[in-house]
Homo-oligomer: A and B are copies of this chain.
C-alpha cells in the first residue's frame, strides 16, 4: 500500500478573493449578512461547494477577519461547513484558536443559514461573542438538508455563554440561495440521514 500522507488542506475558491474587501467596514448586520449570502450564492454559481456562506468580523472596526464557504464535497471533508471553514481561516489569520482573544477582541460569526448541530457546538469553542443568522433551520430542511439534533434551547444556551444571537437577517435572500441550489438539481449530501428522512 502506498503510504498515505495524513494532512488536511482547505483552500478557498479563487473567486472569494474577488468578492471580499478587507479594507472596507461592513457596518450593519445586513451588510455583514450580504457578504455571507454572496459567498453562499457564488459558491453555488461556481460549483465550488454547498449553498452555505459564513464570515467572521471584528465587531469593533467592522472589518472582515475571514470568510468561509461550504467545501464538504470538493474537499472530501464532512466537517468543512462554511462556519467551520471560517473559524479555521480566522484562527490561522489571527494566530490563535481563540478568535475573541479572551474577550478583548469582540468578533461575530455571520452564517447565511442557521448553523447545524456541529457548527452550533463549535461556536462557543471559537470565542466569538455574537452569532448572526440568515435563513432558518426550516429553510434548510425544506430542501432536504439535515441540520442534525440540536439542544432545544440552543439560543438560551449560547446566551448563557455570553454569545448574543440575532436571527432572520436577510432570511429571504439566504433562503433563495438554498432554493436555487435545489432547483438546479444539486447534490443534497447527507451521510447518515435521520430515521424520518430515510423513510421518505
Closest residue of B by beta carbon distance from A81: B125
Task: Judge whether B127 and A116 touch: CB under 8 Å.
Answer: no
Q: Are A76 and B95 in contact (CB under 8 A)?
A: yes
Per the CB 8 Å criterion, the residue count for chain A at the interface is 74
Whether B94 contacts A76 by the Cβ 8 Å rule is: yes
A90 to B79, CA, bound (A): 11
Whether the pair A3, B22 counts as a contact (CB closer than 8 A) is yes
Instruction: Work out how many copies of this chain go into the complex.
Output: 2
Which of A9-17, A30-38, A132-140, A172-180 is near enough to bind chain B? A9-17
Chain B contacts of A121 at CB under 8 A?
Answer: 116-121, 148-150
Closest chain B residue to A11, Cβ basis: B7
Among A66, A79, A146, chain B packs the most CB atoms within 10 A around the CB of: A79
Residues of B contacting A163 in the complex (Cβ-Cβ under 8 angstroms): 192
Least CB distance from A182 to B in Å reads 19
Q: List 14 A-B contacts (CB under 8 A).
A: A3-B22, A6-B67, A8-B88, A77-B91, A78-B99, A78-B122, A79-B126, A80-B88, A99-B191, A123-B192, A126-B191, A151-B152, A162-B192, A163-B192
